[in-house]
Structure 1
Amino acid sequence: MTQIRTFLLLLVTLVAISVSAQTLSPQAKAYMRKEEDSMRNYGRQMIMEKTATQRFTADSVFIRMLVRSLKTPNSFYYPFDSLETVSRIYAPDSSFRIFSWQWARDEDYFRQRGAIQMKTSDGSLKLFPLVDMSEFTTAPQDSIRTGNNWIGAIYYGIVMKTFNNKKYYTLLGYDDNNMRSTKKWIEVLSFDESGRPVFGGPYFSMKDGKVNPSASLARYCLEYKKEGRARMNYDQEMDMIVYDHLISESNEPDKQFTMVPDGDYQGFKWQNGKWVFIDKVFDYKLKDGEAPMPSPIKDATGKSDELRLIEQSEKNIQKNQPAKQPATPAKPLPKKVSPKKQAKDNDTY
């Protein structure tokens, strides 16, 4: 009995030490709260300032302050809740979190910033900077990348899957891209044997899709007209990534800035270590003549009416989505640089 009591006392002591090691001290909390207040101001300035030079300066100061504050022991447990211009998403297993945001030079040039902070047992900082190198490639979908040549996105969703006892984290990201089109990304994040992040890989099966099945597809991109408001989210009940099916409003599908939602949905389902393309998420469709159409989506010339397409998409969402909606992601950035309608509402995603 004495040995059991001794063992239980030792166990309680070890648990107490572990919990204590994973919390911020009152002094550390006060310091980080003060840093966060200053960072919040610079975060707003890097979006709201009038000139590119001012925005760039604020962005640089913000990065330095973020890294400095993260060096505080156990900083992983500080949430940075007031940084409204910065996305913060956590891995479902709490093994890391990702900060991401963007800097705009002008209304036609956007670049993302980011960093992955790993959770460590001793509370020390393990940080992987993410450097947007998207402007140096013409084929961003065909390459496996590291944090040093990151494609760039503001992440608003993360899905963890396992295959052959390895964890894969699928990221959903937003990119303002340019003045004519917006991009949304699906990208699988994994970690190599040394624990360093790897972005992309052979995780997409497009047998029934538009992409050539033999082509290399390391990440999936949904690019559409700036005002298109296409959605892409993970539906937990369906266990599927669901996104708007797009059509060209001018019958020019090769021009991504003409693509808008048409009311149908496509998606990806995780099967045997890959995201398998699903052409029709909702199988049921009315036959010709079964549904009234007081306002045709196309005019007499066959040109699509974008406003009606968007309205039809909204109606389809209400009718077909499961009762439990996927979580609405935080807006990546408030608007300043016109005409980029950055995260103007939750429908942006």
Structure 2
Amino acid sequence: MFRAILLLLPAFIYGSVQAQRISAADAASMAVQQDSLHYLSDMILRGKDEQARQDANDRFIPKLVKALKTPYSFNFRFDSLTTVSIQYPQDSSFRIFTWGLELETTFYHHYGAIQMKTDDGKLKLFPLFDNSDYMNPDTIANNKSWYGCLYYKIIQRHYFNAEFYTLFGWDANNIRSQKKLIDVLMFKDGQPIFGGPFFSFMEDSTPKPTRNRFILEYKKDATISLSYNAEMDMIVYDHLISETNQKSKPSTFVPDLDYEGFKWKAGKWMHIDKVFHDALPLGKFPVQQPLDQRRKNMMKPQTAEDINAEQLEKAKKKN
């Protein structure tokens, strides 16, 4: 009984806080608005053509802003918006909404917004404008010139009285390739800044220039890992090679079962060119089959590790 009470306590506390912050009338109103937003967000992903998807997006944005104008809306989780990624940092000082819209050209355009947590419950929102098709990928940017993607993880680091938020993103990109990226978000004078000299390769055997943003582009039907490993306290990602020996064509890049990484040191992510120096763990194998893009959980893009774990679990059940 005591254990059951402990398990229920966090939900009870959260519910109490939410009740104190959002009136019953506002909570009911936001629940109704969420139903409408859920329908439109599903249409953005699965609309029959670009016009239908764009129309749904054009209706979704003002409806989302209207909902967020509700006092203390930051405490409303929007749990039913499964095709919109909503990510929070460890300190819950803000949250980021991101989603993608597929164009008839097979390219993707991304949309998003940062909602700040405010003491008075009033809305403080930074809309994100995707400029990735026109900007240098290594450009330090603000919310009006954002390198658009769908974020699937945020990790927070503190250094010299400043907070650094490392964002992990995914871009379905186009018919030939997709991308994963790491960006660092800071707030300067209350304004969001994306990117900076945070990705250092100075400790490599052959040093390379520091990057403001780290991007991996790879073959469309390949599956790669790029995430934070809590046990190792570092970012780990697949090393990529060209399967056709065409190093200038990222659309031919696939993982080779080796791994690289980044370790946080003195306010930078320092590159590690080889994370593991032993053999491939027993039971781990490359993934050959692509995932159906429209069946993906857009909030949690699967990594190679996720798929390997699923396949190993299925193998255990068969045995």
TM superposition score category, shorter chain reference: 0.7 to 0.9
Q: SS in structure 2 opposite 1:112?
A: strand
For the residues of structure 2 that align with 1:101 and 1:37, how far apart are their CA atoms? 17
Give the counterpart letter for 1:335 in structure 2: R
Give the counterpart letter for 2:270 in structure 1: V
Partner in structure 2 of residue 200 of structure 1 = 195
For the residues of structure 2 that align with 1:98 and 1:183, how far apart are their CA atoms? 19
- Kindly tell me: are residues 152 and 168 of structure 1, through their superposed partners in 2, closer, same or farther at Cα, counting changes over 3 Å? same
Kept after mapping to 2: 8 A contact 1:264/1:313: no
Partner in structure 1 of residue 230 of structure 2 = 236
Kept after mapping to 1: 8 A contact 2:241/2:254: yes
- How many equivalent pairs are there? 285
For the residues of structure 1 that align with 2:248 and 2:176, how far apart are their CA atoms? 14
**1:183 and 2:179 equivalent?**
yes
1:92-127 per-residue CA deviation (whole Å, 9 max, x = no partner) reads 101000000011112521011000000000000000
Shifted more, 49-58 versus 33-42: the winner is: 49-58
CA apart distance, 1:181 = 0.6
1:15-34 per-residue CA deviation (whole Å, 9 max, x = no partner) reads xxxx6896211111100000
CA apart distance, 1:282 = 1.1
Q: SS in structure 2 opposite 1:233?
A: strand
For the residues of structure 2 that align with 1:341 and 1:85, how far apart are their CA atoms? 7
CA apart distance, 1:342 = 6.9
5+ residue gaps in structure 2?
1-16, 307-319
1:281-326 per-residue CA deviation (whole Å, 9 max, x = no partner) reads 112248xxxx9xxxxxxxxxxxxxxxxxxx7346xxxxxxxxxxxx
For the residues of structure 2 that align with 1:211 and 1:107, how far apart are their CA atoms? 39
For the residues of structure 1 that align with 2:47 and 2:161, how far apart are their CA atoms? 47
Partner in structure 1 of residue 294 of structure 2 = 335
Q: SS in structure 2 opposite 1:121?
A: coil
Give the counterpart letter for 2:47 in structure 1: E
Partner in structure 2 of residue 325 of structure 1 = none
**1:40 and 2:38 equivalent?**
yes
Partner in structure 2 of residue 347 of structure 1 = 303
Q: SS in structure 1 opposite 2:179?
A: strand
Partner in structure 1 of residue 256 of structure 2 = 262
RMSD across aligned positions (CA): 2.7
Which TM-score applies when normalising by structure 1?
Answer: 0.76
For the residues of structure 1 that align with 2:124 and 2:185, how far apart are their CA atoms? 17
Q: SS in structure 2 opposite 1:46?
A: helix
Partner in structure 1 of residue 22 of structure 2 = 24
| Partner residue of 1:225 out of 219, 227, 238 | 219
CA apart distance, 1:39 = 0.5
- Kindly tell me: are residues 35 and 267 of structure 1, through their superposed partners in 2, closer, same or farther at Cα, counting changes over 3 Å? same
1:179-204 per-residue CA deviation (whole Å, 9 max, x = no partner) reads 11111110000000x21100000111
- Kindly tell me: are residues 103 and 212 of structure 1, through their superposed partners in 2, closer, same or farther at Cα, counting changes over 3 Å? farther
Partner in structure 1 of residue 285 of structure 2 = 312
- Kindly tell me: are residues 210 and 121 of structure 1, through their superposed partners in 2, closer, same or farther at Cα, counting changes over 3 Å? farther
Paired residues for 1:75-154 under 5 Å: 75-106=73-104, 108-137=106-135, 139-141=136-138, 143-154=139-150
Give the counterpart letter for 2:180 in structure 1: K
Q: SS in structure 1 opposite 2:141?
A: coil
CA apart distance, 1:341 = 11
- Kindly tell me: are residues 209 and 225 of structure 1, through their superposed partners in 2, closer, same or farther at Cα, counting changes over 3 Å? farther
Shifted more, 99-108 versus 219-228: the winner is: 99-108
- Kindly tell me: are residues 95 and 107 of structure 1, through their superposed partners in 2, closer, same or farther at Cα, counting changes over 3 Å? same
For the residues of structure 1 that align with 2:76 and 2:300, how far apart are their CA atoms? 27
Shifted more, 81-90 versus 201-210: the winner is: 201-210
Kept after mapping to 1: 8 A contact 2:198/2:212: yes
Partner in structure 2 of residue 169 of structure 1 = 165
1:68-91 per-residue CA deviation (whole Å, 9 max, x = no partner) reads 000000000000000011000011
Counting aligned pairs with the same residue, the percent is: 45
- Kindly tell me: are residues 149 and 177 of structure 1, through their superposed partners in 2, closer, same or farther at Cα, counting changes over 3 Å? same
Kept after mapping to 2: 8 A contact 1:22/1:77: no
